[in-house]
Structure formats: C-alpha cells, structure tokens
Structure 1
Amino acid sequence: MTTPPPLLSTTALEVAFPGRRGASPARAVDGVDLDIGPGEIVALVGESGCGKTTLARTLLGLVRPTSGQVTFGGEPLDLSARALKAYRKRVQLVLQDPSGSLNPRHTVYEAVAEGLRIHGYTGDERAAVSEALSRAGLRPPERFFLKYPHELSGGQRQRVVIAGALVLEPELIVADEPVASLDASVRGEILALLLRLRDELGLSALVVTHDLGLAWNIADRVAVMYLGRIVETGDVDRILTAPQHPYTQALLSVMPDAPTEPVVLTGEPPDPSRVPPGCRFHARCQILASGEAERAGVADACRTQDLPVLAGGGDDAVACHWAAAMKTAGPVPAS
C-alpha cells in the first residue's frame, strides 16, 4: 500500500530571534524536519521553552522562518498577505485558553461566524454555523447562538473555539495545549471530539503539548522536541513503551502509573542563544550522569559531537549517541 504524501511538511526549518544587546540570536527552532500526513494526528511534545509553540506559529504563517521551508499540499508556503489568508482557511488554530480567544462581547453565533465573514463566505451563514456547532458537540446548535462566553462551561467554550475552526472546513488544525485549561473530567470529552473529527472528516492535527499522557490518548505519532530540535520521533506506541532518548524517558517517568522511578532533570534547558557543544541535552542527561554513557563509550561524543537533525519527520528515529550505541549493542533499556 502506497503511503500518501504529507499534507504538511517542514524541511530544515529554522527560526532565530535577535539577541539582546548584541548577544547571539536565539535559535528557537533549529533545523526541524516534520511531516503530518492526511488524517494523521501528530503530538509535538516538550517542556516549556523548547520551541514547540514557535514551531506551531511558524507552520501557521504567524512567524516568518529564518531559513528552511514549510510545504503544504506539495506547494511551498507563500508568505504574502493574500496567500496567507487563503492558507489560514485550510489550516486553523485552536488555542489553549478558550476564555482568552473568545471575545466576551460576542455571542457564540458571532464568534463562529467571524471566520466566514473574514473570508467572504457567500453561502448560508446560519446553516454553516449550525453545522460547525453540531460537529463540535454543541447540540441543538440554536440553543447556543445567543449565549455569551461567560454563560458557558469551560468545555463548552473550548467546543465553540473548535467550531470556529471547523466552520471554514480546514484540512489541518494546530491545537496548542487544547485541554490544558480544562478540568480532568472534561479533557477526555475534548480529546474524543478531536478523534471523532479525524475519523469523520479526515482532519489532520498537530497537537502541541507538554503532556505525553495526552499524546498517548490522541496521537498517531509523536515528535519530542528539546531546545529547538526534534530529538525523537515515531509511532506513539513505540515512543511511549520503548523510548530511546533519555529526555523522552525522563518525560515518561513522571506520568501517573509510570513503570519506572521518576527522573528528576537537574538545571534548566540551556539558553537557545548559547547552545552547548555536543548533544544539547548532555548537561542534564541522567544517562551521562549515571556513567552509562561512559560504559557505552560515548560520553566524550555526548559532550563534544553535535547530532544530525532528524531527517524525514515521518520516520522512527532518535538523535542520541547513547541510544545509537545501545541499538547497535542490543535492546535499549528504559531508565
């Protein structure tokens, strides 16, 4: 069976922000290859400050890349204002905080219809809004038309935000921490909604999150990001049952019911304007600190030799000297 080409892909994507007072530029996104296939949900995972939100905003055309390329539907992303307007009809953003993304003075109807009006929709606006609300699980939709955000629960507000994205019939949504502000009892409902939209509409999604548990529940594939680079990528089951990169192992170790002892990472991620030599994770790496990397004969490489950018974002791959040595020697144990 032939694998369809990616719907969205990036090649050697870089985003650097000017440094303060003559300092080196901060490399928020530092050579990222990432693919998202038709009807695929990819979870982009990493702690705060790793660059995942900057990457998401770049995919939406909200941040201009310093170098590299974003491709959508086989065509390079055109960053002109007119082209971006058409592109954003096909790629929609769902923000973390529905309260912050909904105008408190707008009714639900106005909030959902806003995108249609911006893009000059000429069809039946009321029918389109009704269908979007229904798809987002707000039924009967007419019951919500005249409600204001403060009259809704947190889960209902998030569904309105999702309806506002769906009304334009996008091919891809970028969801930035889509359930982080919701109660635990509501999170499952929103995740189930996203899965249903994927199954019913063939909708693709990039879900940006710090929570690997969320990735387990929703994603087909996971990309783990650290200090501007993707350090491990692969099928969700493989990543979450047999993580190879020490950083992925550390993230998984603090999940509820994790089979291993929690790994407490020391220190903070390095300044992206002063990326260290060698593996960019080595100063915090539990494998290096424990002596395992020394015994595997890769400790010097960890400290001095940079790792290549993971090519072809759809592949199962890891950027780690120790993991590469363990793969050659035999199965990689989870720490």
Structure 2
Amino acid sequence: MRAGGFGEAAVTQEHVMTTTSPLLSTTGLHITFPGRRGGPAARAVDGVDLDIGTGEIVALVGESGCGKTTLARALLGLVPPTSGRVTFGGEPLGLTPRALKAYRKRVQLVLQDPSGSLNPRHTVYDAVAEGLRIHGYAGDERAAVAEALSRAGLRPPERFFLRYPHELSGGQRQRVVIAGALVLEPELIVADEPVASLDASVRGEILALLLRLRDELGLSALVVTHDLGLAWNIADRVAVMYLGRIVETGPVEDVLTSPQHPYTQALLSVLPESESPPVVLTGEPPDPSRIPEGCRFHARCQVLASGEAARAGVADLCRSRDLPVLANAPGPQVACHWAATASP
C-alpha cells in the first residue's frame, strides 16, 4: 500500500505487471498544426515515445496547453500524427474508417465532463447501448448493458435503465460514461481528467473503481490529468509533459517522491501536502509555434533563475542545447541538463 500524502486518500494497489511487451506504443510522435495567417506551425506534440503495458495505468501529467490532450487524441486515432507512429498490440494503427472502427472497439475514451458526454434526451440504457449498436453487436444487448452498469458500480442495473442524465448525481453520470466504455469490452481506456468535475467526496470512489476494473478485467489505462495527487493514487507510471514533450517519466513513486526535473518539482511544490516551499513559475508556457532553443523549460526554470544551474556549469547548455526525446524504458528518466549533473 502506498503511503498517504498526495491528493485523495491513497488507494491500495497491489498490482504487478504481467508482461513486458507494451499494449500501446508511440515512437517519435510529432503532431503539428498550421500556423495562423501563414505563420510557423504549432508543434503540439514534438517527439514522444510512450509505452502502456497490459494491465498498466499510466498518468500523463502537465499544465493546460502542454499537449497532453492532443497526444491522447492521437492515441485514439482522432488526430493523425504528422510523423512517427502509434502501434497497438504490435500492429501499426491504421487510419482508414474501417481500421479505426475496429480499433475504437478495443480502445475507449472517458471524458472529463459526464454531463457533456451524455445526451440529455437519451436514457441511461440507450447511452450505454449506443456503442453496441454502432458496432453491430449480435448478442443479448440488455444483458450486456446490465453487466456494464453493474461493473461500473450502478446496482441493480435495471433500476437505472430508464433514468435520464439529469436524474443522476455527478458520480452516477461518470459511472454511466464508464459503463458505456466497458460495454464493448475494451483493452485500453483513455481517461481525460476523469474526476476533475466531481466533488471531492466522489473522486476517491471513481479512482477506486478504475483500479478495481484494472485488477478484475486486466484493463490498461492512460489517465490524462493536471493533478499529481491523482497520479499518485492511481498510476503505476507517470509521464510529465511540457510544451509537447515528456520531460520526466518513471514509476510513480520514484518520480513523485524524488522528482528530478525542475518542472516536476514545481508542480509538486504547490500541493497542500508538499513539505517544500511552493515554486511559482513565472510567465506562461511558450507558444508551441515558437519553442525556444535549448531546454524548452529554461525561460521559466527556477534552477536557472536562482543561479544553481550556473554553479553546476550547465547554464549555457540549458539556454542553447536541446535535449533528446526520452526513450521508452522501465526506470526513471529525465530531460534536464542540471539533473544530469546530479546523477550518479
């Protein structure tokens, strides 16, 4: 069991990875969008290697605008990569309508706002059954919907069949959204801020549900969040993203108890449970169409601003030399000139 101290009450997690081959993998992924009025293209995702193993939960963490939602959409086939590739089960992700339809039966999305995800004119039954109908399910639809609702914690499921979203609590609506994903028996769920819109009293319940589904069904998950406390409670690994690139990654305990990148340190410092003085980052993240030379974080870096990087002899490198894309690896990794000087 993890020690408490970050965000929600810690959730027991006795999970051991059963395979070393990734279920989903990205290699050298880049996604750019055309600039306004012929200006430079925005590099929303600027070189990402990321693995998600079978039965593994990975948290993708970063500020708004860092590229994490664009990356998640690319993993779902909603945004085509400019370069690089996405593979699932060892096979490249096809972008034809037929290939994407088959893929999206195996990979499902859970959005942040359950109210916006559910049609107010559809009953709970119809909301959950929609995926079955899209994919031409030939089995017992009623039984499949009931099982999905039951797995999502809405019991007895028949009690919810004819209810409408406005008749449910926020937590119940999010469970309906999760049931709509589960009904297709996916292998991977991409959850974009899955508890951000919920009351604190319900957040822990939804996190515990996601963990239970992983343990019972072997589900993998990518959880997109700005909340490191959530990552602490639910994830096996965490990937910290800044300006289109992962800048620190590793097992969640390693990254969150001993962060190496100044950006990760700053994110952790503002949590209520942090024992470090809060780090207030100056300015906003740079425009992704004008990524600075050198380390992309250097203009806001508290280590550089304090002179600590200069004392370590890396200040010029921070301002001038770009860092390589972090490769897929099981242990902690960091893209930081200063952190490299402190490594054994």
TM-score (normalizing by structure 1): 0.97
1:1-335 superposed matches below 5 A: 3-312=19-328, 314-328=330-344
Superposition deviation, residue 22 in structure 1: 1.3
1:248-289 alpha-carbon deviations (Å, 9 max, x no partner):
000000111101011000000000000000000000000001
Q: Is the 8 A contact 1:220 1:235 kept in 2?
A: yes
Secondary structure of 2:25's counterpart equals strand
Per-residue deviation at 1:313?
Answer: 5.4
Q: Is the 8 A contact 1:33 1:313 kept in 2?
A: no
User: What CA distance in whole angstroms lies between the structure 2 residues aligned with 1:154 and 1:161?
Assistant: 11
Task: State the 1:314 CA deviation.
Answer: 4.1
CA distance in structure 2 between the aligned counterparts of 1:171 and 1:3, rounded to whole angstroms: 14
Which segments of 5 or more consecutive residues in structure 1 lack a partner in the other structure? 329-335
Aligned mates of 1:229, 1:252 — CA distance in 2: 19
CA distance in 2, matches of 1:128, 1:299: 59
Q: 1:234 touches 1:317 (CA, 8 Å); kept in 2?
A: yes
Cα distance in 1 for residues equivalent to 2:309 and 2:56: 35
Contact 1:51 1:228 in 2 (8 A): yes
What's the offset of the Cα at 1:4? 2.4
Give me the whole-angstrom Cα distance separating, in 1, the residues matched to 2:192 and 2:320: 34
Correspondence for 1:332: none
With over 3 angstroms needed to count, the CA separation of the structure-2 counterparts of 1:2 and 1:221, relative to structure 1, is closer
Per the normalisation by structure 2, the TM-score is 0.94
Please give the per-residue CA displacement for 1:99-143, whole angstroms capped at 9, x wherever unaligned.
000000000000000000000000000000000000000000000
Deviation digits for residues 44-78 of structure 1 (CA, Å, limit 9, x no counterpart): 00000000000000000000100000000000001
Distance 2:44 2:302 in 1: 24
Aligned-pair CA distance for 1:316: 1.9
Provide the rounded CA distance (Å) in 1 between the counterparts of 2:285 and 2:202. Answer: 32
For the residue of structure 2 that corresponds to 1:104, the secondary structure is coil
User: In structure 2, what residue type is equivalent to 1:43?
Assistant: A
The alignment's C-alpha RMSD in Å is 1.0
Does structure 1 retain, via aligned residues, the 8 Å contact 2:19–2:53?
Answer: no
Identify if the C-alpha distance between structure 1 residues 2 and 215 changes in structure 2 by more than 3 Å, giving closer, same or farther.
closer
In structure 2, relative to structure 1, the CA distance for the partners of 1:63 and 1:190 (3 Å cut) is same
Partners of 1:175 and 1:208 within 8 A in 2: yes
